[in-house]
């Protein structure tokens, strides 16, 4: 009997939209004030809370490794949280040594504790109105395979991926997966695989969709064409302007402002914009340690702030080398995957992310009275007009949903 070469892939999808409204012109004032969301951290046990610092540190480490593997001048958008969930699912269906390696890299050596924490994070974030957070998992596998007990437990457990048994030799798998991706990401990611790419064995997917309307909306009439001083040169971008009391990052040496932290409605999520100090290359700035240090230099102040309107849809990221740098390699060993009764080898791990940010909120028809850039003379000014790091975080736990390194616009 001819021996089959059985391969599988694992894919993370992540989409973030900040301040984009689906109901332009809707009158928010007719709706009752939303009940403030319960801080996610209060839903965790003491043991789970104690595990958060190491897990959050691992999320920054993951971002650093992905950036190190990026091409020169390339914008990076990734989701540490999506990677955490995807790798956690794999840890539940791999050989013990591979599972231990994954959990260690993710900052939590207790697999069951990690499973419990992931389940509570996903459940609580899904209910964090007025922010929209939609996680989804899916498994496609070839009908020649039979699920093992580990595979059945994965499907029946807290990750509960949508499951599709298909004949991978019959065609149509690529189109079906791409359609699922589009539906789960509100059409921001419509093509994960190109027609003609060969898939064998199985495909395990995690998708995240995040929509966060600004707590303090931008006035579209104040959006102006301004220069962005990217690594590849100066480009003209649509720069959005606002003013108010916000989180402000300052440089440790010069004490000049280098970034802002903006709240989404409900104040449970924030978007951080952080630039290196003047003259420092973004690549030299991006490290988990540097970013952690930046947060020790954050305060709050009245400020005039300007951020670029943007839509970033980079190519999918091949995570294999970044995961190796991250300390994960045994999962690729032959027959490490124990999801089926037949031996299967993990071939690839991909992630594709997209970010869209503009000035519209749930109250798109609102009008602010002002004169663009002018403000009180004592207000601090922060202009994000050169390469920067962007983080989208859940405040109470510090969980990093999305991270980006924007070099050019």
Tokens 């003379």 locate to 377
pLDDT at 169: 83
Q: 323: number of CA atoms within 13 Å, CB side?
A: 26
Inform me whether the pLDDT recorded for 400 exceeds 90. Answer: yes
pLDDT at 120: 93
Strand pairing of 257-263 and 269-274? antiparallel
Output the CA–CA distances (angstroms, integers) from residue 376 to 221, 256, 260, 381, in the order listed.
Answer: 19, 18, 18, 10
Confidence of residue 10 (pLDDT cuts 50, 70, 90): low
Contact call for residues 227 and 221 (beta carbons, < 8 A): no
Confidence of residue 366 (pLDDT cuts 50, 70, 90): very low
Residues with Cβ within 8 Å of 308's Cβ and at least 6 positions away in sequence, in order, are 228, 237, 238, 239, 240, 357, 384, 385, 409
DSSP 301-342: EEEEEEEE-EEE-PPPEE-HHHHHHTT--GGGSTT-B-SBSS
Judged by average pLDDT, the poorest of 121-125, 206-210, 355-359, 375-379 is 375-379
Inform me whether the pLDDT recorded for 129 exceeds 60. Answer: yes
Tokens 């909120």 locate to 361
pLDDT at 21: 34
Give the three-class secondary structure for 169: helix
DSSP 68-126: HTSPTT--EEE-HHHHHHHHHHHHTTB-HHHHHHHHHHTT-S-HHHHHHHHHHHHHHHH
pTM: 0.88
Highest mean pLDDT range out of 22-36, 296-310, 376-390? 296-310
Average of per-residue pLDDT values in the chain? 83
pLDDT at 379: 52
Helix, strand and coil percent figures for the chain, each rounded to 5? 30, 35, 40
Contact call for residues 125 and 394 (beta carbons, < 8 A): yes
State the average pLDDT over residues 157-172: 88
Q: Does 334 or 106 have the greater pLDDT score?
A: 106
pLDDT at 363: 20
Tokens 């990093």 locate to 400
State the average pLDDT over residues 28-42: 61
Residues with Cβ within 8 Å of 335's Cβ and at least 6 positions away in sequence, in order, are 95, 343, 344, 345
State the average pLDDT over residues 176-182: 90
Inform me whether the pLDDT recorded for 391 exceeds 90. Answer: yes
Q: What residue ranges define each of the domains in the chain, with the CATH number in brackets?
A: 7-213+311-356 (3.30.497.10), 220-309+371-406 (2.30.39.10)
pLDDT at 157: 92
pLDDT at 376: 33
pLDDT at 218: 93
Confidence of residue 35 (pLDDT cuts 50, 70, 90): low
pLDDT at 7: 62
pLDDT at 37: 63
Inform me whether the pLDDT recorded for 252 exceeds 60. Answer: yes
pLDDT at 13: 65
Distance CA 19, CA 385 (A): 20
pLDDT at 27: 39
Inform me whether the pLDDT recorded for 150 exceeds 80. Answer: yes
pLDDT at 344: 85
Distance CA 76, CA 22 (A): 27
Q: Does 373 or 131 have the greater pLDDT score?
A: 131
State the average pLDDT over residues 359-368: 25
pLDDT at 230: 95
Query: Which of 280, 314, 372 is CA-nearest to residue 188?
Result: 314
Which DSSP helix (H) or strand (E) runs through 134? strand 132-142
Judged by average pLDDT, the poorest of 103-112, 210-219, 231-240 is 210-219
Inform me whether the pLDDT recorded for 18 exceeds 60. Answer: no
Q: Does 290 or 200 have the greater pLDDT score?
A: 290
Confidence of residue 113 (pLDDT cuts 50, 70, 90): very high
In the chain, the percentage of residues whose pLDDT exceeds 70 is: 86
In the chain, the percentage of residues whose pLDDT exceeds 90 is: 51
Distance CA 260, CA 65 (A): 24
């Amino acid at each position: 009997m001819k021996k089959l070469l059985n391969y599988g892939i694992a894919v993370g999808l992540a989409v973030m939209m900040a301040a984009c409204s689906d109901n332009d012109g809707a009158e928010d004032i007719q709706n009752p004030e939303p009940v403030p969301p319960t801080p996610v951290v209060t839903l965790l046990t003491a043991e789970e809370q104690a595990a958060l610092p190491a897990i959050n540190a691992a999320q920054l480490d993951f971002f650093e490794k992905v950036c190190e593997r990026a091409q020169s001048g390339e914008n990076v958008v990734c989701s540490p949280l999506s990677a955490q969930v995807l790798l956690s699912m794999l840890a539940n269906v791999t050989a013990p040594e591979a599972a231990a390696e994954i959990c260690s890299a993710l900052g939590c050596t207790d697999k069951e504790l990690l499973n419990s924490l992931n389940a509570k994070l996903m459940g609580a974030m899904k209910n964090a109105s007025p922010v929209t957070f939609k996680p989804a998992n899916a498994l496609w596998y070839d009908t020649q395979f039979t699920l093992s007990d580990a595979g059945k437990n994965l499907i029946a457990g807290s990750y509960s991926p949508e499951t599709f048994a298909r004949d991978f030799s019959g065609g149509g798998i690529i189109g079906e997966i791409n359609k699922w991706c589009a539906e789960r990401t509100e059409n921001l990611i419509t093509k994960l695989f190109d027609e003609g790419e060969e898939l064998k064995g199985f495909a395990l997917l995690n998708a995240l969709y995040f929509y966060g309307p600004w707590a303090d909306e931008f006035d579209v009439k104040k959006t102006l064409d301004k220069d962005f001083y990217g690594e590849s040169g100066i480009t003209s971008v649509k720069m959005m302007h606002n003013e108010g009391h916000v989180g402000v990052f300052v440089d440790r040496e010069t004490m000049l402002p280098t970034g802002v932290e903006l709240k989404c409605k409900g104040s449970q999520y924030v978007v951080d914009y952080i630039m290196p100090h003047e003259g420092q290359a973004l690549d030299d700035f991006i490290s988990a340690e540097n970013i952690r240090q930046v947060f020790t230099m954050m305060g709050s102040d009245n400020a005039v702030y300007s951020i670029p309107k943007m839509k970033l849809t980079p190519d999918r990221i091949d995570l294999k080398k970044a995961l190796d740098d991250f300390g994960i390699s045994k999962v690729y060993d032959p027959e490490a995957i124990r999801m089926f009764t037949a031996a299967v080898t993990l071939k690839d791990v991909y992630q594709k992310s997209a970010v869209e940010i503009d000035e519209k909120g749930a109250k798109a028809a609102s009008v602010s009275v002002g004169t663009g850039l002018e403000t009180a003379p004592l207000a601090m000014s922060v202009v994000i007009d050169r390469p920067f790091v962007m983080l989208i975080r859940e405040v109470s736990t510090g969980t990093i949903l999305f991270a980006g390194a924007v070099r050019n616009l």
